[in-house]
A = this chain, B = another copy of it.
Amino acid sequence: MKLTVYLAGEIHTNWREELQKKAEKKQLPLTFVAPQTNHDRSDDIGEDILGKQPGKLYKDAAASDINNFRTQVMLQKADVVIALFGEQYRQWNTAMDASSAITWNKPTIIIRPESLIHPLKELSNKANVTVETVDQALDVLSYIYE
Protein backbone atom coordinates (compact mmCIF):
# COMPACT_ATOMS: atom_id res chain seq x y z
CA MET A 1 0.00 0.00 0.00
CA LYS A 2 1.81 3.08 -1.33
CA LEU A 3 0.93 6.39 0.31
CA THR A 4 1.52 10.03 -0.54
CA VAL A 5 2.29 12.24 2.46
CA TYR A 6 1.94 16.03 2.36
CA LEU A 7 4.35 17.80 4.74
CA ALA A 8 2.80 21.11 5.76
CA GLY A 9 4.34 23.76 7.98
CA GLU A 10 7.67 25.16 9.13
CA ILE A 11 9.99 25.86 6.19
CA HIS A 12 13.13 27.18 7.93
CA THR A 13 14.52 23.89 9.21
CA ASN A 14 15.29 20.68 7.32
CA TRP A 15 12.77 18.44 9.05
CA ARG A 16 11.37 17.28 5.72
CA GLU A 17 14.71 15.92 4.52
CA GLU A 18 15.26 14.29 7.90
CA LEU A 19 11.87 12.57 7.79
CA GLN A 20 12.32 11.51 4.20
CA LYS A 21 15.74 9.97 4.80
CA LYS A 22 14.60 8.04 7.82
CA ALA A 23 11.55 6.78 5.92
CA GLU A 24 13.80 5.59 3.10
CA LYS A 25 16.04 3.78 5.55
CA LYS A 26 12.99 1.96 6.85
CA GLN A 27 11.97 1.27 3.22
CA LEU A 28 8.48 2.60 3.75
CA PRO A 29 6.64 2.96 0.40
CA LEU A 30 5.95 6.67 0.93
CA THR A 31 6.09 9.59 -1.49
CA PHE A 32 6.50 12.98 0.17
CA VAL A 33 5.21 16.25 -1.27
CA ALA A 34 5.60 19.69 0.26
CA PRO A 35 4.94 23.40 -0.12
CA GLN A 36 7.60 25.65 -1.65
CA THR A 37 10.26 25.70 1.07
CA ASN A 38 12.37 28.48 -0.44
CA HIS A 39 10.86 31.37 1.54
CA ASP A 40 11.85 34.12 -0.91
CA ARG A 41 10.59 32.19 -3.92
CA SER A 42 7.31 31.53 -2.08
CA ASP A 43 6.91 35.24 -1.27
CA ASP A 44 7.89 36.40 -4.75
CA ILE A 45 6.12 33.81 -6.90
CA GLY A 46 3.20 36.14 -7.65
CA GLU A 47 5.42 38.88 -9.03
CA ASP A 48 7.78 36.36 -10.63
CA ILE A 49 4.93 35.11 -12.81
CA LEU A 50 2.47 38.02 -13.02
CA GLY A 51 4.92 40.93 -12.88
CA LYS A 52 5.31 43.85 -10.48
CA GLN A 53 2.25 44.50 -8.29
CA PRO A 54 1.22 47.91 -6.92
CA GLY A 55 2.20 47.36 -3.28
CA LYS A 56 2.77 44.71 -0.64
CA LEU A 57 -0.90 43.71 -0.25
CA TYR A 58 -1.16 42.97 -3.97
CA LYS A 59 2.21 41.21 -4.10
CA ASP A 60 1.06 38.96 -1.26
CA ALA A 61 -2.32 38.37 -2.88
CA ALA A 62 -0.66 37.30 -6.13
CA ALA A 63 1.75 34.99 -4.32
CA SER A 64 -0.94 33.35 -2.22
CA ASP A 65 -3.05 32.65 -5.34
CA ILE A 66 -0.26 30.49 -6.67
CA ASN A 67 0.85 28.98 -3.37
CA ASN A 68 -2.72 27.96 -2.56
CA PHE A 69 -3.09 26.49 -6.05
CA ARG A 70 0.03 24.39 -5.49
CA THR A 71 -1.07 23.27 -2.05
CA GLN A 72 -4.56 22.33 -3.27
CA VAL A 73 -3.12 20.11 -6.01
CA MET A 74 -0.88 18.33 -3.50
CA LEU A 75 -3.37 18.04 -0.64
CA GLN A 76 -5.85 16.35 -2.96
CA LYS A 77 -3.25 13.79 -3.98
CA ALA A 78 -2.17 13.17 -0.39
CA ASP A 79 -3.32 10.14 1.64
CA VAL A 80 -1.82 11.48 4.85
CA VAL A 81 -0.93 15.00 6.06
CA ILE A 82 1.77 15.90 8.58
CA ALA A 83 1.88 19.50 9.84
CA LEU A 84 4.86 20.74 11.85
CA PHE A 85 4.56 23.91 13.94
CA GLY A 86 7.78 25.60 15.09
CA GLU A 87 8.05 28.08 17.93
CA GLN A 88 8.81 31.18 15.96
CA TYR A 89 6.23 32.06 13.38
CA ARG A 90 2.48 32.48 13.28
CA GLN A 91 2.09 29.86 10.56
CA TRP A 92 -1.57 30.49 9.92
CA ASN A 93 -1.25 28.87 6.53
CA THR A 94 -0.08 25.70 8.27
CA ALA A 95 -3.14 25.79 10.52
CA MET A 96 -5.24 26.40 7.42
CA ASP A 97 -3.73 23.46 5.51
CA ALA A 98 -4.13 21.12 8.49
CA SER A 99 -7.71 22.22 9.02
CA SER A 100 -8.63 21.81 5.32
CA ALA A 101 -7.03 18.38 5.34
CA ILE A 102 -8.96 17.31 8.44
CA THR A 103 -12.22 18.65 7.02
CA TRP A 104 -11.56 16.61 3.85
CA ASN A 105 -11.05 13.52 6.05
CA LYS A 106 -7.33 13.24 5.38
CA PRO A 107 -5.67 11.37 8.28
CA THR A 108 -3.50 14.07 9.91
CA ILE A 109 -0.52 14.16 12.30
CA ILE A 110 0.59 17.36 14.05
CA ILE A 111 4.17 17.83 15.27
CA ARG A 112 4.64 20.63 17.79
CA PRO A 113 6.98 21.42 20.71
CA GLU A 114 5.66 21.17 24.27
CA SER A 115 5.59 24.97 24.47
CA LEU A 116 2.79 25.08 21.90
CA ILE A 117 0.41 22.68 23.63
CA HIS A 118 -1.93 25.44 24.75
CA PRO A 119 -2.29 27.58 21.60
CA LEU A 120 -2.65 24.48 19.41
CA LYS A 121 -5.06 22.58 21.66
CA GLU A 122 -8.15 22.88 19.44
CA LEU A 123 -6.30 21.92 16.28
CA SER A 124 -4.53 19.02 18.04
CA ASN A 125 -7.92 17.88 19.20
CA LYS A 126 -9.19 17.67 15.62
CA ALA A 127 -6.10 16.03 14.17
CA ASN A 128 -5.74 12.26 14.53
CA VAL A 129 -2.44 12.29 16.37
CA THR A 130 -0.20 14.98 17.92
CA VAL A 131 3.46 14.27 18.61
CA GLU A 132 6.49 16.33 19.60
CA THR A 133 9.23 15.04 17.31
CA VAL A 134 9.78 14.06 13.71
CA ASP A 135 10.85 10.61 14.90
CA GLN A 136 7.51 10.10 16.61
CA ALA A 137 5.68 11.07 13.43
CA LEU A 138 7.78 8.54 11.56
CA ASP A 139 6.87 5.93 14.17
CA VAL A 140 3.19 6.62 13.48
CA LEU A 141 3.74 6.24 9.73
CA SER A 142 5.71 3.01 10.27
CA TYR A 143 2.92 1.63 12.40
CA ILE A 144 0.68 1.59 9.31
CA TYR A 145 2.96 -1.02 7.78
CA GLU A 146 3.46 -3.31 10.78
A-side residues, CB < 8 A to B, are 1, 3-4, 31, 33, 36, 38, 41, 45, 48-50, 54-58, 60-61, 63-74, 76-77, 79-80, 85, 89-93, 95-100, 102-105, 107, 109, 117-126, 128-131, 136, 139-140, 143-144, 146
Contact = CB atoms under 8 A, between A and B. Distances in A.
B1 A121 contact: no
B146 A41 contact: yes
Contacts of A92: 85, 91-92, 95, 119-120, 122-123
B74 A1 contact: yes
A140 B60 contact: no
Contacts of A93: 121-123
